[in-house]
Structures are given as C-alpha cells and as structure tokens.
C-alpha cells in the first residue's frame, strides 16, 4: 500500500539526513508524515464542501447540465419551504441531548465510582451494542414501541401517553410514528457518545478529592455540586457536542420511528439528493444545516470555554 510505503520512507529518510546534516535534520519529516492524510482530507472533505457551495448557487437540470449563476434564491426557497424540518432537527436533537445527559451522567458516574471490579464489564456492556449494526437495532425499536406491545400498554395504563399527548409528543395512545419515538430513538442511538467522554472525564477525578471535600464539611450533595460536577464539565461539553451534532443530522430515526410529520433536515437533504435529484436545493439545504451547526457549536464552545477538542 502506497500509504504504508510513505510512512516507512518518511522515518528512514529522516534518519539519513540526521547523519549527514545534523543541524537541519529531518525538517521535512513532519510534512512527509502529514501530507498523504491531509491531502486525502482536502480532496475528499474540504473540496467537496466548496463544490457543494458552488452547486447550491447553480441553476440548470440533469440533462442540460448546470451553470454557476449565483442563484441565491435557492437558499431562500429552501429555507421558506423547509424551515419546519430545520426547527424539528434542532428541537429533537436538543431534547435527545438533554435526555442523553440525564441518562448518561448517572451511568458514567456509576461506572467511574461505584462499579469497582465490575467496571470493565459495565464498559463492555456500554460498547457492545455497537457491534450490531445501528440500523438493525433501530428496527428493533419498531418492535419495542409497537402499538399493542408491552411498553405502550404500560405507558397507556400509567396515563404517561396522556401527558406526552398534552405536550404534543404523542397522539392517539400510540408512541410509534410520533416525535416521542424519534427522540427516544435518537437518545438511544447517541447515548454511548455521551457516556464515554463523561466516563473518561470522571474516571480521571481523584477519589481522594471526594474524601477531602467530605473532610472539609461538604455533604455528598455539596461535594457533587462543588467538586465532581465542575471537574466533569469538559466531559459534559464534549459529550453534548458528540450527541447533538450527529443527532441533528440524523434521518434514519425520523424515517423509521416517526411519520411524514416528523421529518428532519437530514430527511429533506436525502430526499432532494437521492429521490428528487434537485442537487442545488440539496446542496443549499446541506450548507444551511452545516452553517447553523457551526454557529451553534461555536457559540456553545465560547460559552463553555473548553480547550483543544482534538
């Protein structure tokens, strides 16, 4: 493989320079190491973004071809027509992110501080579901949330569905094909992305800090509020980002667990690109989604004030 060849050549080549020219040894080595991978990202990540930006401003059709006409109207039309999907995208993603935090934090906390010798086992159980394709697992939710399944029966008996119906999340005593199902699916799909960074962050906290806080008259609740939680904030920030971003672009959950009324931005992009074949509109929608996410994430990071995320 050419990539492996480059890696090997980079290292040995650097060494030869070291012997003959000690002062300037291997200055080019890092560039040789970086070049192939970065070139790949430039060609297949950065350039496609530019091409997409250009496509979004083109007019024409499949048979005649497209011309760059700086047709900004595509954006206004797309926004005008599909703003509900964008609102839903960010609304569902935000709800799922909050749910992930509520469910994921205690789980990560339990693994980090309470699991003891079972810690490895808990972690395996968090990661293991990943090994089954997420599409197959999402299909399973169709079974779990089926209209006359146990789950929905219990929820109906508890009048939970009445509450959610009041909130506009469910309809007619059913869960499938409602916003609630989509949010549950999103929460389920991205929960590990919340739990793992949280765990990584909590695990690094020295348990002696808890003892020190207790020694200094902090109740367990104060200890959590004043010591543990602030120290876990970097994990909370990366966890929420890792959940929110992919969730807001997802379209499988909305398509399978929702109804046409729960479509998200991803669904529209996919439909425009693969079904309607209206590439400028698909490109414009995708660009809008990207832009909105970048704006939200930047504002969030500014506010949360976190360092290097890579």
Partner 1 sequence: MTEQQRAGASGDVSLAGLSKHYGDFTAVRPMDLTIPAGSFFALLGASGCGKTTTLRMIAGLEQPSTGSVSIGDRDVTGLPPYKRPVNTVFQNYALFPHLSVADNVGFGLRRRGVKDTRKQVQDMLDLVELGHLAKRKPTQLSGGQQQRVAVARALINTPQVLLLDEPLGALDLKLRRQMQLELKRIQTDVGITFVHVTHDQEEAMTMADTIAVMNGGRIEQLGSPVELYEAPRTTFVANFLGQSNLVEAKVTGRADGDLLLDAQGNRLALPAARSAADGDHLVMGIRPEKITITYAADAKIADNRNRLDGGVIVDAAFIGVSTQYVVRMPWGQEFTVFEQNMERDPRLVPGATVILHWNPTHGFGLESGDLTAGIAEASEDAA
Partner 2 sequence: MAVVNWLRRNVIVLFGLLALGYMTLPNIVVLMFSFNDPNGRFNYTWNGFTLDAWEQPCGVAGICDSVAVSMKIAVLSTLVATALGTAIAFALGRYRFRARGAINTLLFLPMSMPEVVMGASLGTLFLNMRINTGFVTILIAHIMFCLSFVVVAVKARVLGMDPKLEEAAQDLYASPTQVFLRVTLPLAAPGIGAGAMLAFALSFDDFVITNFTSGNTVTFPMFVYGAAQRGTPPQINVIGSAMFVIAVLIVMIGQIRASRRAKQRA
In this structure, the chain runs to a length of: 310
H or E stretch at 115: none
| Smallest distance, partner 1 to C-beta of residue 310, A | 26
Given the complex with partner 2, which of 115 and 218 has the nearer CB atom?
A: 115
DSSP category for residue 130: G
Interhelix angle 179-203/134-144, rounded to 10 degrees, is 130
27 lies in the site for partner 1, by CB under 8 A? no
Residues 106-145 that bind partner 2 (CB under 8 A): 106-107, 109-111, 114-115, 120, 122, 124-144
308, interface contact from partner 2, partner 1, none, CB < 5-8 Å by kind: partner 2
* Tokens describing residue 211: 């003892």
Which of 22, 65, 116, 260 is the binder for partner 1 (CB under 8 A)?
22
Q: How far apart, in whole angstroms, are the C-alpha atoms of residue 49 and residue 51?
A: 5
For position 84 contacting partner 2 by CB under 8 A, the verdict is no
Q: Which of these, 94, 287, 304, lies nearest to 190 by C-alpha position?
A: 94
Which x/- pattern over 220-249 shows residues binding partner 2 (rule: CB under 8 A)? ---------------------x---xx-xx
Q: Site for partner 2 (CB under 8 A): which residue of 98, 165, 290, 296?
A: 290
# chain residues binding partner 1, by CB under 8 A: 6
Say if CB 288 and CB 89 are below 8 A apart.
no
Six token digits for residue 289: 């989604």
Distance of CA 304 to the CA centre of its chain: 18
Q: Which CB sits closer to partner 2, 121 or 168? A: 121
Q: Which residues bind partner 1 (CB under 8 A)?
A: 15, 18-19, 22-23, 25
């Amino acid at each position: 493989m050419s990539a492996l060849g480059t890696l090997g050549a980079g290292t040995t080549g650097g060494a030869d320079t070291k012997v003959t020219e000690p002062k300037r040894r291997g200055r080019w080595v890092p560039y040789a190491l970086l070049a192939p991978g970065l070139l790949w990202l430039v060609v297949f990540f950065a350039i496609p973004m530019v091409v997409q930006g250009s496509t979004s401003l083109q007019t024409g059709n499949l048979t005649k071809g497209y011309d760059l006409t700086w047709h900004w109207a595509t954006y206004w039309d797309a926004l005008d027509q599909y703003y509900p999907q964008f609102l839903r995208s960010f609304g569902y993603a935000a709800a799922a992110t909050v749910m992930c935090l509520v469910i994921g934090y205690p789980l990560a906390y339990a693994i980090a501080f309470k699991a003891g010798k079972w810690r490895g086992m808990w972690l395996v159980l968090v990661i293991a579901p990943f090994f089954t394709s997420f599409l197959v697992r999402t299909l399973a939710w169709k079974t779990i949330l089926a209209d006359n399944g146990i789950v929905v029966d219990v929820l109906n008996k508890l009048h939970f569905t009445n509450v959610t119906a009041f909130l506009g999340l469910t309809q007619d005593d059913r869960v499938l094909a409602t916003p609630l199902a989509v949010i549950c699916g999103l929460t389920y799909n991205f929960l590990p992305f919340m739990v793992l960074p949280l765990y990584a962050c909590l695990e690094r906290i020295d348990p002696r800090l808890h003892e020190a806080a207790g020694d200094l008259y902090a109740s367990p609740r104060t200890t959590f509020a004043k010591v543990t939680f602030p120290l876990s904030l970097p994990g909370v920030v990366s966890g929420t980002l890792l959940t929110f971003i992919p969730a807001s672009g997802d379209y499988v959950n909305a398509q399978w667990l929702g109804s046409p009324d729960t479509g998200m931005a991803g669904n529209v992009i996919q439909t425009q690109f693969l079904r309607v074949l209206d590439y400028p509109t698909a490109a414009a929608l995708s660009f809008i989604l990207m832009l909105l996410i970048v704006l939200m994430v930047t504002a969030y990071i500014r506010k949360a004030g976190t360092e290097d995320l890579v």
